[in-house]
Structure 1
Amino acid sequence: MLNAKKLTLAVLVQAALISTAVASEQSEAKGFVEDAEGSVLFRTGFIHRDKIDNRKDQSSYAQTAIVQLESGYTQGTVGVGVGAVGDWSFKLGSNNNAGNNMIPHDNNGEPYDQWARGGVNVKARISNTEVRYGTQVLDLPVLASNTARLVPEYFTGVLATSREIDGLELTAGKFTKNQFSDQIATDQNDLDRAIVWGARYQVNDQLNTAYFGVDNKDRLERHYANVNYKLPLANQSSLTFDFSGYHTDWDAKADGTARTYSHTSNDFNNLSNSIWAISTAYNTGPHNIMLAYQQNTGNAGYDYNLGAGVADGGQTIYMPNSYLSDFIGNDEKSVQLQYSLNFDQYGVPGLNWTSAFVYGWDIDANRAVRANPADPNSAIVARELVVDNATEREFFNQVKYTVQSGFAKDASLRVRHSYYRASDEYQGSYIGDTNEWRLFLDIPVKLF
């Protein structure tokens, strides 16, 4: 894997030298102040999880202002600039049952009344290659900031992105801190280092490909691949075929125990998972219908967002069957039918509705074996298989409206609901039966 990382970095360097392949972005720089941009996003967020079978509900209500500032690049062969991102938030109501990665808690477990986070970064650009160091919001399949909560997850490190060759984007970076959406400390997860690399290549207007990898020291190594092909049809209709997949190998903890939670093997030094999915979407006018099949293999589930030192983000699951549940159980197969409707042609531009049903089966459900069976808080030393045919299902609906013009242009309201149920054997291993509501009101304001 070290050779693969060196190869990626070498390609980045070579790409930076091929400045004649495409027009140089840096040559068009207008200046540090002239190209500066600033915005603030006012977001009101609400997540309520109605837990079934007498389990404690989870409800979070809060307001935030997310500020993003970007200078332009100075002119010249090498342009330099700075950026900043941050948020100031306060809770709405008591939030006594908060627990949806929305609101940070103090040392006594009480939700903060208000809190602020953020950081700065510096950047440099030569031709079409940019290097940025500092606090960043990432959108990489193997290292993605969780943007589905009140505020985004922040990473601290260096990221290089190169677009010297037409259609090809290369990425390489190293991150040493990550801050979850509900954390105030910038390094509360004790991340050592995560090295990321990858490439996106647009073969032509119809075919796109991508590969990414991450080496999270002493935690895991993960690879992602994607191929997307769009076939145009008559009457402005189209068929889109998509393949995506991950392969993950986990390291054992320092005490020799497993870092995953859905494994069925007790060889903790040899835990791995491969998850892949293929989908077909048919689009015609305002209608879009998608059918997807997703499958897990290996001796563990996908098992992401595992806490201390694991920088895989709360959103690093770029797979089609991902809603409230991600359908990532050990050995699980799942199928999805999704329908989306754009109301633009019905006289309501900006209004979209999505409905989906996902069913998963063949799940290997396990239970913990503790060092002291009489103590529910004692260390988990093994897991034993309970059943190999557990099931889960989810019915998902979302309505989103975005204002198209006027003083409130681009403001949006998103309302989503998930009805989730699992078989008895899978209740304690994952989410458990839940009805979830999410409401987010976003009001973006451009500062300059």
Structure 2
Amino acid sequence: MQKAQKLTLAVLIQAALISTAYASEQSESKGFMEDAKGSVLFRTGFIDRDKKNVVPGTDTRSSAQSAIFDLESGYTKGIVGFGVGIVGDASLKLGDNKHAGNQMIPRETLNGEEQAGDTYDHWARGGANVKARISNTEVRYGTQVLDLPVLASNTGRMVPEYFEGVLATSREINGLELTAGKFTKNQMSEQINTDGNQLDRAVVWGAKYKFNDAFNASYYGLDSKNALERHYVNANYKQALANDSSLTYDFSGYHTEFDEQATTYSSTIGNEDVSGRSNNIWAISGTYNTGAHNLMLAYQQNTGNTGYDYGQNADGFQSVYLPNSYLSDFVGNHEKSAQVQYNLDFGKLGVPGLNWTTAYVYGWDIKVAGTADEGKENEFFNQVKYTVQSGFAKDASLRVRNSIYRANNAYENAYIGDTNEWRIFLDIPVKLF
């Protein structure tokens, strides 16, 4: 493990010192102020989860209004460029939100427990970061929104999940991107505490390479102290067909070793030994595209002695880069799942900006602690999104999403439970400079 981390860091350092295969980003810098950019995203969000087979009062419903800021300077000129950035958000709840949940709205602390208090009426969060760049290698330290398969910030709620630490990204060789970093704080979307997830230390490293326009592959690793060790691989190939059609093949998978202190779904519903827990989950999919139509078939499978778990261990609440992931992620212990998805781009039919996705996923062969019965689950998913294409509201979007989720008796109380969910998000981006 340590050898892999040191090797990745050594490659990053050496890559910054060797001649590049293409133009240097830093040499093209126009200046600290000249390349500065800033934006604010005004988001109105609503999530409603109607629990079907649980006691009254356990339904969750949240609605709020947020402004999400992203301010970024350019780099100073010279061999080494320097810059700064600010990310943050300010929000207020809409309505009383008596049944708030779904990682949308923070709660006030009551007797030391944040989830026991009333919801905040308004709140604000955020932080700053500093950055340096030499050639095509950037190092950034501070508060960041991450998009790595093994450490991904939740961006599907009102406001983003933040990590604090250092991240180095190098693109010195054409087609190759190397990444390495270390993070020491994790703030979930609904948390006021900047380290609400009590992250001790998370070290990440990885690489992705674009072989050509049709084929690319990647590998990423994560070592989260006292929580888990995780590895991710992906390969994607796009085959061109006649009449501008294509067939895309995708393989992705995770291997996770959980420490004894880690939280997993299985260990919270049974009394099994928490030592030696591991999980392998992989998925393969094929997507056929012709004109406005996309049809995807996917198969996903778990092995090991526990299910795939993410987010519970300060490892990113969106770290599930797998196809069978909607309301449910189909990540139960030993679970197998199959999906059929259809996407229609109305823009190619004369209605630019309108898109519809529908999918059905069925999961089976789930091992559930405390019973010998086979767990099963299924989800019917639909989403419609419209993005304004021109005019004063250009790039504003409205997204409406619905999931109908059901589990059999063996799995009903082990995971989500039968749920009808609605998500509605109105996003209005405004460019400041």
Q: Does TM, normalized by the shorter one, top 0.5? A: yes
> Distance between the aligned counterparts of 1:265 and 1:329, measured in 2?
17
Partner SS state of residue 367, structure 2: strand
Judge which range, 51-60 or 410-419, deviates more. 51-60
The offset of 1:314, in angstroms, is 1.0
Amino acid in the other structure paired with 1:33 = M
- Which residue of structure 1 lines up, in the alignment, with residue 314 of structure 2? 311
1:79 to 78, 81, 86: 81
Q: Deviations over 1:340-394 (max 9, x none)?
A: 000012221000000000000000011xxxxxxxxxxxxxxxxxx4135210000
2:305 to 289, 299, 306: 299
> Are 2:351 and 1:348 equivalent residues in the alignment?
yes
- Which residue of structure 2 lines up, in the alignment, with residue 365 of structure 1? 368
8 Å contact kept, 2:53–2:417? no
> Distance between the aligned counterparts of 2:427 and 2:20, measured in 1?
41
8 Å contact kept, 2:48–2:61? yes
2:274 to 254, 268, 272: 268
2:64 to 62, 65, 68: 62
Q: Deviations over 1:295-321 (max 9, x none)?
A: 000000002121xxx221111100000
> Distance between the aligned counterparts of 1:388 and 1:14, measured in 2?
55
> Distance between the aligned counterparts of 1:338 and 1:10, measured in 2?
42
> Are 2:257 and 1:249 equivalent residues in the alignment?
yes
> Distance between the aligned counterparts of 2:380 and 2:301, measured in 1?
19
- Which residue of structure 1 lines up, in the alignment, with residue 114 of structure 2? none
TM-score normalised over the length of structure 1: 0.93
Amino acid in the other structure paired with 2:60 = Q
> Are 2:142 and 1:138 equivalent residues in the alignment?
no
> Distance between the aligned counterparts of 1:387 and 1:416, measured in 2?
35
Amino acid in the other structure paired with 1:205 = D
1:410 to 395, 408, 415: 395
> Distance between the aligned counterparts of 2:372 and 2:417, measured in 1?
16
Instruction: Give the aligned CA root-mean-square deviation in angstroms.
Output: 1.0
- Which residue of structure 1 lines up, in the alignment, with residue 339 of structure 2? 336
- Which residue of structure 1 lines up, in the alignment, with residue 113 of structure 2? none
- Which residue of structure 2 lines up, in the alignment, with residue 202 of structure 1? 210
8 Å contact kept, 1:209–1:228? yes
> Distance between the aligned counterparts of 2:20 and 2:366, measured in 1?
52
> Distance between the aligned counterparts of 1:354 and 1:221, measured in 2?
34
- Which residue of structure 2 lines up, in the alignment, with residue 158 of structure 1? 166
- Which residue of structure 2 lines up, in the alignment, with residue 447 of structure 1? 432
The offset of 1:268, in angstroms, is 2.2
> Distance between the aligned counterparts of 1:160 and 1:218, measured in 2?
24
> Distance between the aligned counterparts of 1:265 and 1:16, measured in 2?
50
> Distance between the aligned counterparts of 2:310 and 2:347, measured in 1?
37
Partner SS state of residue 425, structure 1: coil
> Distance between the aligned counterparts of 2:360 and 2:271, measured in 1?
31
Amino acid in the other structure paired with 1:291 = L
> Distance between the aligned counterparts of 1:352 and 1:36, measured in 2?
32
- Which residue of structure 1 lines up, in the alignment, with residue 243 of structure 2? 235
Amino acid in the other structure paired with 2:35 = D
8 Å contact kept, 1:60–1:99? yes
8 Å contact kept, 2:233–2:253? yes
Question: Unmatched 5+ residue regions in structure 2?
Answer: 111-116
> Distance between the aligned counterparts of 1:282 and 1:20, measured in 2?
37
> Distance between the aligned counterparts of 1:252 and 1:279, measured in 2?
33
The offset of 1:265, in angstroms, is 8.6
> Distance between the aligned counterparts of 2:27 and 2:334, measured in 1?
52
2:126 to 118, 123, 127: 118
Partner SS state of residue 48, structure 2: strand
> Distance between the aligned counterparts of 1:240 and 1:401, measured in 2?
25
- Which residue of structure 2 lines up, in the alignment, with residue 433 of structure 1? 418
Structure 1's 163 and 388: CA in aligned 2 closer, same or farther, altered over 3 A? farther
Judge which range, 14-23 or 230-239, deviates more. 14-23
8 Å contact kept, 2:368–2:414? yes
> Distance between the aligned counterparts of 2:373 and 2:334, measured in 1?
8
- Which residue of structure 2 lines up, in the alignment, with residue 31 of structure 1? 31
Amino acid in the other structure paired with 1:59 = R
> Distance between the aligned counterparts of 1:193 and 1:175, measured in 2?
6
- Which residue of structure 2 lines up, in the alignment, with residue 19 of structure 1? 19
Q: Deviations over 1:59-81 (max 9, x none)?
A: 00000000110000000000000
Partner SS state of residue 9, structure 2: helix
> Distance between the aligned counterparts of 1:53 and 1:72, measured in 2?
53
- Which residue of structure 1 lines up, in the alignment, with residue 93 of structure 2? 91
Structure 1's 265 and 221: CA in aligned 2 closer, same or farther, altered over 3 A? farther
Poorly superposed stretches of 4+, deviation over 4 Å: none
Partner SS state of residue 155, structure 2: coil
8 Å contact kept, 1:262–1:303? no
Amino acid in the other structure paired with 2:162 = Y
Structure 1's 223 and 388: CA in aligned 2 closer, same or farther, altered over 3 A? farther
> Distance between the aligned counterparts of 2:91 and 2:219, measured in 1?
36
Partner SS state of residue 365, structure 1: coil
Question: Unmatched 5+ residue regions in structure 1?
Answer: 367-384
Partner SS state of residue 101, structure 1: coil
Tell me how many residue pairs correspond in the alignment. Answer: 423
2:380 to 365, 379, 395: 395
TM-score normalised over the length of structure 2: 0.96
Partner SS state of residue 170, structure 1: strand
8 Å contact kept, 2:248–2:287? yes
8 Å contact kept, 1:356–1:397? yes
> Distance between the aligned counterparts of 1:303 and 1:387, measured in 2?
22
1:101 to 93, 100, 103: 103
- Which residue of structure 2 lines up, in the alignment, with residue 182 of structure 1? 190
> Distance between the aligned counterparts of 2:272 and 2:20, measured in 1?
54
- Which residue of structure 2 lines up, in the alignment, with residue 326 of structure 1? 329
